[in-house]
Structures are given as C-alpha cells and as structure tokens.
C-alpha cells in the first residue's frame, strides 16, 4: 500500500496526500478527513525511510555508550534504559552505538550516513574527542556527563565533586577520622573519565578541609575486586573506620570483605557513596548514599536533545544535579576499632 493507491481511492492527487501527511502545505479539513478515512480503512503506515527523505527527520536518536570495562555496570544499564524509555515517550526510536572514540567505525557511520537526527553520549571524559567532533560538525548532541570545559556543550551531569565531598562531611560529622575512598578502575582514571576524577577531587578536598587521614584506591567493577580492595584497605590502615565509594559494582565485595574481617556495619565500620538507588537498597544493611537519579538524567538528556532539534539556534543548556544523601543503615558514629597486629597480613 502506498501514497498512489491512497490518492486513487480518495480521489485526490498524490501531492495532496503527501501534503496531508507531512503538513508542509495547507489541505482543507474535508479533504484531510477523506484521506484519513482511506488511510484508516487500509491500515496504511508511512515508510520510515521515505518519511525521513521527505521531511529531513528520522525520528531516531543515537545513544553512544562505550563500555567502561569488560561488562556494563548496573548504573550504565540504568542510563541506557532511561534514555530508551524517555525517547519512546517523545516519539523517538533509539539506535545504539557502542563507540568509545570518534575514530570508531560505529561512530563514523552514525554521523556519515546521518542515520539519526541527533546523539546522546555517555561515559564522558574530561577531554573527549567525540564531543569535539560533534561540535565541529555542528551535529546535535547532548552529553550525560561533562567535559573539563563544558560551557559550549549541552549536557546533563551529576555533581560528583560535591556529592563525594558531602559523603566525607557526613562521615566526619559522625566522628570518623580515618576514611578510605574506593574509586573506579585505574584504567578509567587514566582515560580521563570525568566522574572518577571529579569524585576523587571532591573527596580529597573535603578530607583536607576536615583534617582527616585518608587513603584512595582504584577498584575493578566487580565484587571480587571490591573484596580484595577492602582487604587492602585494612592491611594498609587497620584503624580505618569508614569508606566512600563511587564503585557500585564492587559494593557487594566491599561488604563481604568487611564481614570476613569481623567488621560490623555500621557499628564498627561505616560505608557510604554515590550509587544508584537499587544498588543502595540491595545490600544489607542498606547503603546511606547520594542516589544517582538515572531515570531523571536520561529523561532530561532526551528532552534537551529534542529541544535542540526543534530550536537549532538555541544557546547551550545544561542540568547539574546534586541529590541529597539518603540516610539508610550503613553509617553510624565512629566506634573504637582495635588495630590488628602490626605487620599482620590481612589479605591471607
């Protein structure tokens, strides 16, 4: 079924049907109703490719989401799901592109073949060549995250600096003086992942402000790495009584390491950080944390991109989110921890 058959049955020209479907020219209400009746009777659905050629819009957005490691974390999947749901609510389809740099073939196809109207980028780095490339091409895009100089970009970000600092102040107010920071893997820090760098910056500055004794650790995105990291923390400084983490994938391992070391949460050891709500509520005791609003961030990213597509000359806009710390059951007043025998190997 095509426009020609609709025109024949409605007794109008092909161009009239095209104008009625696209809205590019005025068509009388009577004619439009006649065409619509035929469309309803035939169950006609416009071909997406033909529609894109006609109006220059595909109603599809690209989601560029490079994996940060060997697998996707729960938070990454939450962002992907939230973007897909928000796009559907705004009548957009989503084309996924697992691209890490602008030289990736997938990324080049996304741009070169104009398969999408615009793009949303995840896993932003402080110096991100994908963002620079899209800006140079004047290709509509929105970042989930922000570069080191985001003034000219469209983005939705989480204030990792402020949130990590808030976690430190929360623990310091509870009397904790020796605190560890569990960050994302070393390779991500080297690659310039903005959340890892900004979280580390917020932690170290707040700790210095409160006069705390701290150590920082990079940790793999999995439970075994979390357990090994916790063992290393207690080996390096047995008197540590609390930690802040950005690594939700390692959270279960951190808890397991504490249990095996005989540290009760929160009586002997407090844990807090910046993680998604469902992860915070999965562990026992539930995690006191700044909950990452993944659904809200995905929705805002789609809305910003839709605005940019509808208003190409609009000035750049952004949203920087700083959710409050949700007090649950994993933090408490600093207790007296009996240090292990000097030189004892707690990793054995």
What pLDDT was estimated at residue 280?
Answer: 94
Least confidently predicted of 89-98, 234-243, 244-253: 89-98
What pLDDT was estimated at residue 145?
Answer: 96
Q: Mean pLDDT over residues 20-34, rounded? A: 79
Residue 135 pLDDT exceeds 50: yes
Parallel, antiparallel or unpaired: strands 178-183 and 242-245: parallel
What gap in Å lies between CA 175 and CA 4, rounded to an integer?
77
pLDDT band at 29 (very low <50, low <70, confident <90, very high): confident
H runs (alpha helix) in the chain: 3-10, 14-22, 29-42, 48-55, 74-89, 105-112, 129-136, 160-173, 186-191, 194-210, 223-236, 251-260, 277-280, 294-310
Extract the tokens encoding 336: 């007296």
What pLDDT was estimated at residue 107?
Answer: 78
What gap in Å lies between CA 100 and CA 89, rounded to an integer?
27
pLDDT band at 7 (very low <50, low <70, confident <90, very high): confident
What gap in Å lies between CA 102 and CA 135, rounded to an integer?
12
What gap in Å lies between CA 303 and CA 141, rounded to an integer?
11
CA angle 294, 86, 54 (to 5 degrees): 145
Least confidently predicted of 21-25, 95-99, 170-174, 232-236: 21-25
- Listed residue (295, 264, 280) closest to 325, CA to CA: 280
CA dihedral 130, 132, 134, 140 (to 10 degrees): 110
Least confidently predicted of 30-44, 76-90, 150-164, 298-312: 30-44
pLDDT band at 22 (very low <50, low <70, confident <90, very high): low
Residues 6+ apart with CB under 8 A from 206: 164, 165, 166, 168, 169, 172
Q: Mean pLDDT over residues 92-115, rounded? A: 78
Q: pLDDT (tens digit, 9 = 90+) per residue, 299-336? A: 999 999 999 999 999 999 999 999 999 999 999 999 75
User: In which order are the strands placed within the sheet that holds 270-276?
Assistant: 213-218, 178-183, 242-245, 270-276, 288-292, 325-326
* Residues 299, 86 contacting (CB under 8 angstroms): yes
pLDDT band at 342 (very low <50, low <70, confident <90, very high): very low
What pLDDT was estimated at residue 329?
Answer: 97
Looking at the chain, the whole-number percentage of residues with pLDDT higher than 70 is: 89
Place of tokens 């009625």: 20
pLDDT band at 99 (very low <50, low <70, confident <90, very high): confident
The number of beta carbons lying within 10 Å of the beta carbon of residue 344 is 12
CA atoms within 13 A on the CB side of 26: 1
DSSP labels, 108-158: HHHHHTT-SSEEEE-S-BSS-HHHHHHHHTT--EEEES--SS-TTS-EEEE
- Listed residue (182, 189, 149, 154) closest to 68, CA to CA: 189
């Amino acid at each position: 079924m095509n426009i020609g058959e609709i025109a024949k049955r409605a007794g109008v020209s092909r161009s009239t049907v095209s104008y009625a479907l696209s809205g590019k020219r005025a068509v009388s209400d009577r004619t439009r109703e006649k065409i619509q009746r035929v469309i309803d009777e035939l169950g006609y659905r416009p071909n997406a490719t033909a529609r894109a050629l006609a109006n220059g819009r595909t109603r599809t957005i690209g989601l560029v989401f490079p994996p940060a490691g060997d697998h996707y974390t729960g938070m990454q999947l939450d962002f992907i799901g939230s973007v897909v749901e928000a796009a559907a609510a705004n009548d957009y389809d989503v084309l996924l592109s697992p691209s890490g740099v602008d030289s990736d073939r997938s990324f080049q196809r996304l741009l070169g073949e104009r398969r999408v109207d615009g793009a949303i980028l995840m896993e932003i780095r402080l110096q991100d060549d994908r963002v620079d490339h899209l800006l140079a091409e004047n290709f509509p895009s929105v970042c989930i995250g922000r570069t080191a100089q985001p003034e000219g970009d469209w983005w939705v970000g989480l204030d990792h600096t402020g949130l990590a600092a808030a976690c430190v102040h929360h623990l310091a107010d509870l009397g904790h003086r020796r605190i560890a920071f569990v960050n994302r893997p070393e390779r991500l820090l080297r690659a310039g992942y903005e959340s890892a760098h900004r979280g580390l910056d917020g932690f170290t500055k707040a700790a210095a402000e409160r006069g705390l004794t701290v150590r920082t650790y990079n940790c793999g995105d999995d439970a075994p790495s979390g357990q090994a990291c916790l063992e290393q923390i207690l080996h390096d400084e047995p008197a540590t009584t609390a930690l802040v983490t950005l690594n939700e994938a390692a959270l279960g391992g951190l808890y397991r390491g504490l249990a095996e070391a005989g540290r009760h949460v929160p009586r002997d050891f407090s844990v807090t950080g910046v993680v998604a709500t469902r992860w915070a509520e999965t562990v026992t005791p539930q995690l006191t944390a700044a909950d990452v609003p993944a659904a809200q961030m995905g929705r805002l990213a789609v809305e910003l991109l839709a605005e940019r597509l509808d208003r190409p000359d609009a000035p750049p806009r952004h949203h920087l989110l700083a959710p409050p710390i949700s007090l649950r059951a994993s933090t408490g007043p600093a207790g007296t921890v009996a240090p292990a025998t000097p030189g004892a190997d707690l990793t054995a």
